[in-house]
Structure 1
C-alpha cells in the first residue's frame, strides 16, 4: 500500500508541530522508508495504514516514535573536518588565553545524534589539554530520546567507528565491548546528554564558549531559524564561537552574528551589543 497524499500531509503536520522540521513535498519516499519498519512491526500493510491507525486511536508513544523516526540522525566522526581543525588550531588557544586556569570551558553539541560529534570534541580536547577531564564540560542534546540514550552509553558498532574515526584514536580512546567499541569512561564523564527540542524554549544551560549547531537549520523555515539562532546566542558567552554546517549560514537570516573565516571554513560570533 503506497503512501497516500492524506497520510503524507498528516505526517508533515505532525512533524512540523512537534519539531518545527519542514518536510517538503517530494519527501514521501523518506516517510515511506523511515516508517515502513514501524508498520511492519505492527503487522500492517503499509505506512498509510499505520498513519490511519494512529489518527483514529491517538497514542502519544507512537506519535513520538514517528517524529523521532523522521528526524535525521546522519552523523560520523570528524564530519566535514574543518570545524574540528578550527577548534584545536584557533578557537581553543584563544579561549584558554582568555579564561582563568580554574574556569571550565563549556561546549554544546546541539542535535548530537548518537554522540559522534560530542565524543570527537572530547577526544580532541583530551589530547590538547592535560587537564581536560576537569577543565571541559560538554553538553550533548538531541530531540530523540533514543539518540540521547545512545550518546550516554558511548558504544558504537564496527561500522560506526569505521566512519571517519582514525585508527590511532580508536586504539587510544576505546576498548572492545563484545561486538562494539566503548569510549573511555573519562571521556564519557565529560559529556552530559539530554533531550532538547531546538524549536522550543531552551532549558537553562551554559553559558557556552563553543556551540556546534551543524546541519540542523537546513530543516527549518526562516522564522524558526531566526528564533533558534536568537535563543542559542542568549546561551553563549559574548566571545563564544558558533559552528554551523557547510551549507548553513547566519547571513540573511540573523544579522546579530559576525562571520569569521577559519582556514577553509568559517564560524560565527555574537556581534557586540547584540
Structure 2
C-alpha cells in the first residue's frame, strides 16, 4: 500500500485532470493499474511513478496514469432500454417536431466504441423508417488507447457475445481469425475524438441527443453539476440527455428534468417549461 501522502496527491491529481473522485477504498487499484505504467516508463515501482508526477504533472507519463485509472467498461446495447428509446422515440420525435433532416448525437466517455456502434447499427437497421435523415455520431473519451481500439472496431468473441444480437453480428461484422471487426460502412458512421469532460465544450458544436452513461458516477457532486450545466448549453432546447440506469440529475442539477415515462432520459428544463 502506498503512503498516505502519495495517495492524497494521486487523488488530487486525478480529480484535476479527469474529474475522477478516487475514494479511500479504491487504494487496491493503484498497484494493479499503475505498476505496468511505471514499468513502461522505466521506473522501479509506483512510488517512483508518483514522485515523477509530482515533479512533472503533465506529459506522456501523466496521460498514461490518467488513462490507466479511468474505467473503460462497455458492451453492445448495454441496458437495451436507451437504444430502444433512441430509435422509437427520440429520433422520430425530433424529426416530427422540426422536420429536420440532420440529427447530431454525442456519446461522451465512449470507451472502446460499443455504445456509438450500437447506435450506428440500429440506425442502419431502421434506415427505411428514416428516409433522407442524416445522423452524425461523435464519440469521445479521455483515453487515447481505447479510442484507437474503437476506430479499428475489432472485438473479441467475448465482447461480441455481450448484448449483441446474433443477427447484428452476422450482418454488420466480419470475422478476423478469432476476433470480429465491424464493417466499414458502420465504422464510417462514427467519428471518434479524444476529449476530456473537464474541458470547454465550445469546440464540439451543439447536439440533439447526448449519451453520457455511467461516467458521472465517478465524479463528486460539484463536478457532476458542472458537467451537466455545460451539457445543457450544448444540447438543443428540444433535445435529449441519456444517463446510466443508476444515475440521476435529482439534487444535482436543475438544468434537466426526467422525460415522463422514459427511464434514464432527460430533457432540458426550458423545453419542459415551454410545453407546460
Q: TM-score, normalised by structure 2?
A: 0.90
Q: Deviations over 1:50-85 (max 9, x none)?
A: 323443566611011001111111111111221112
Secondary structure of 2:77's counterpart equals: coil
Contact 1:3 1:46 in 2 (8 A): no
- C-alpha displacement of 1:239: 1.0
**Structure 2 partner of 1:82:** 81
**Structure 1 partner of 2:15:** 16
Secondary structure of 1:156's counterpart equals: strand
Note closer, same or farther for the CA distance 1:119–1:133 as it changes in structure 2 (3 Å cut).
farther
**Structure 1 partner of 2:49:** 50
Contact 1:133 1:190 in 2 (8 A): no
**Structure 1 partner of 2:113:** 115
**Structure 2 partner of 1:187:** 186
- C-alpha displacement of 1:132: 7.7
1:154 is the counterpart of 2:153:
yes
Contact 2:41 2:61 in 1 (8 A): no
Which deviates more, 127-136 or 139-148?
127-136
Note closer, same or farther for the CA distance 1:132–1:236 as it changes in structure 2 (3 Å cut).
farther
Secondary structure of 2:254's counterpart equals: coil
Secondary structure of 2:51's counterpart equals: helix
Root mean square deviation, CA, Å: 2.2
Q: TM-score, normalised by structure 1?
A: 0.90
Distance 2:260 2:79 in 1: 15
Structure 2 gaps of 5+ residues are none
| Structure 2 counterparts to residues 136-151 of structure 1, below 5 A | 136-151=135-150
- C-alpha displacement of 1:13: 1.6
- C-alpha displacement of 1:47: 1.9
- C-alpha displacement of 1:147: 1.8
Distance 1:207 1:221 in 2: 25
Secondary structure of 1:26's counterpart equals: helix
What is the count of residue pairs matched by the alignment?
271
- C-alpha displacement of 1:133: 9.4
Distance 1:90 1:134 in 2: 15
- C-alpha displacement of 1:46: 3.3
**Structure 2 partner of 1:229:** 228
Secondary structure of 1:246's counterpart equals: coil
Distance 2:131 2:169 in 1: 18
Q: Kindly indicate which of the two structures has a greater share of residues assigned to helix.
A: 2
Distance 2:159 2:89 in 1: 28
**Structure 1 partner of 2:173:** 174
Note closer, same or farther for the CA distance 1:133–1:24 as it changes in structure 2 (3 Å cut).
farther
**Structure 1 partner of 2:32:** 33
